[in-house]
C-alpha cells in the first residue's frame, strides 16, 4: 500500500534554519499527505530514535548535531527519515503506528485515507539516544526544537495539531502560541498512559479516537 505525498511545501520548509544547510537534517522534514489541505491536521509525536550505538555517538553532542553542514553521516539514516518511516510502517508497523491503526479501525476510518490527509512530524529535532525510550532532553534541545516546530506550523498552517507526546505538548504549551487553541494532546501511544483513564474517566486512546472522528466524519 503506497501513500501519495505532497512536496509542495518543501522549498519553504528547507529555508528553516535547522533543515537549510544539512542533508541529514532534511531527512527529518515532516511527512505531508497528498490531501493534507482537506483537513490540515498535523500529528506530532516525540522523536526519532537510533538503534546503532555508533550513530548515537555521532549525535551525542547537540551543538555539533545542530550546526551540521553535511559532515555527519549515519549508518541507519532510514531511522530518522520521517517520510520513509511513515510510508514503511503506517499500515503494518508496531508501536506508535500499530496503536494509531487500531484506533482508526475502531473509528471505521480507512488507514490510507487518514494518512493521505494529515501531516506528521516528531517534535524533537535530535533523535533519542536512549533507544526507543523517551528522549532525554536538555533545555537547549527543547528550545531549539520548539523554535523549529513553530517555524514549521507557520508554513503548514494546521487547523488541528494533535500531540501524541505530553512531553512535547507541555513544552509547546508554555510558549502560549496562537496555535494553542487548535491543539489537542494525548499520551504517547506506546506508553501505559495511553490506556489509563484521566480525570474525566476517559482513556487517552479513546479521546484520540473521538477527536479524529470529529475531524474526519463531520
Mean pLDDT of the region 84-106: 92
Mean pLDDT of the region 89-103: 90
Q: What integer pLDDT is reported at residue 51 of this predicted model?
A: 80
Record the pTM.
0.94
CATH of domain 10-217: 3.40.470.10
User: H/E element holding 43?
Assistant: strand 41-45
What are 131-162's pLDDT values in tens digits?
A: 555 666 789 999 999 999 999 999 999 999 99
Cβ distance 186 to 164 under 8 Å? yes
Sign of CA pseudo-dihedral 119, 120, 121, 122: positive
| 94 or 76, which is more confident | 76
Q: Cα(1)–Cα(156) distance, rounded to whole angstroms?
A: 25
Q: What integer pLDDT is reported at residue 167 of this predicted model?
A: 92
What are 100-141's pLDDT values in tens digits?
A: 999 999 999 999 999 999 999 999 999 887 655 566 678 999
- Residue 122 pairs in a beta bridge with 45
How many CA atoms does the CB half-sphere of 217 hold within 13 Å? 11
Cell of 176: 502560549
Mean pLDDT of the region 166-193: 92
Cβ distance 104 to 162 under 8 Å? no
DSSP 110-133: -HHHHHTTEEEEES-SS-BSSTTS
Amino acid at each position: 500500500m503506497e501513500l501519495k505525498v505532497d512536496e509542495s511545501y518543501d522549498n519553504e520548509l528547507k529555508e528553516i534554519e535547522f533543515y537549510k544547510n544539512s542533508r541529514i537534517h532534511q531527512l527529518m522534514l515532516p511527512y505531508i499527505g497528498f490531501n493534507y489541505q482537506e483537513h490540515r491536521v498535523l500529528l506530532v509525536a516525540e522523536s526519532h530514535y537510533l538503534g546503532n550505538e555508533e550513530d548515537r555517538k555521532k549525535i551525542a553532542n547537540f551543538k555539533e548535531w545542530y550546526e551540521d553542514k553535511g559532515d555527519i553521516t549515519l549508518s541507519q539514516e532510514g531511522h530518522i527519515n520521517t517520510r520513509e518511516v511513515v510510508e514503511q510502517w503506517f499500515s503494518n508497523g508496531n508501536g506508535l503506528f500499530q496503536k494509531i491503526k487500531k484506533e482508526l479501525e475502531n473509528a471505521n476510518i480507512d488507514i490510507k485515507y487518514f494518512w493521505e490527509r494529515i501531516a506528521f512530524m516528531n517534535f524533537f529535532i535530535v533523535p533519542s539516544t536512549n533507544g526507543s525510550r523517551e528522549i532525554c532532553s536538555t533545555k537547549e534541545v527543547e528550545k531549539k526544537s520548539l523554535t523549529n516546530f513553530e517555524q514549521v506550523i507557520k508554513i503548514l498552517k494546521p487547523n488541528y495539531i494533535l500531540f501524541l507526546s505530553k512531553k512535547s505538548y507541555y513544552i509547546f504549551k508554555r510558549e502560549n502560541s496562537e496555535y494553542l487553541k487548535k491543539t489537542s494532546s494525548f499520551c504517547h501511544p506506546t506508553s501505559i498512559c495511553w490506556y489509563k483513564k484521566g480525570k474525566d474517566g476517559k482513556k487517552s486512546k479513546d479521546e484520540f479516537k473521538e477527536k479524529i472522528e470529529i475531524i474526519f466524519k463531520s
